[in-house]
Amino acid sequence: MTVRTVDMQVLIPKLSEVARVQQVQQQENNNRQQELMAQMVQSTARNDTSISQLPGSENVLIRERREKEKNRKKLVRKEGLTDDKEKKEAGELKKGLLGGKIDLKV
């Protein structure tokens, strides 16, 4: 397909217009992308600085776990349990597996 000189004279000025329009569209896309990234950074920073609220039941469970762990550590430190068997027995006592019932013989 050949292009005639008259057509070429019309197409060359339009080529610069098309290039300018494409450049403007590309710049708009870049600007939108930068704005989106800025919004994401702001929301991430806001989420990092805000304290998330846990439901009440989860707070209680976390507190109970911490207390149990603290009590277990105190027991180990207090009694100076170093033997693995003693540590295991202490853990079972803590769980209520041992020492929950008393056997009496008459």
* Residue partners of 56: CB distance under 8 A and separation at least 6: none
Contact 72, 94 (CB under 8 A): yes
**Interior CA angle at 103 toward 102 and 105, to 5°?**
140
| pTM, rounded to two decimals | 0.40
Q: Does the structure show a pLDDT above 90 at 81?
A: no
CA distance 41 to 35: 10
Is the pLDDT higher at 3 or at 17? 17
- pLDDT tens digits, 29-40: 999 999 999 999
Q: How confident is the model at residue 79 (pLDDT cuts 50, 70, 90)?
A: confident
What is the mean pLDDT of the segment spanning 75-86? 66
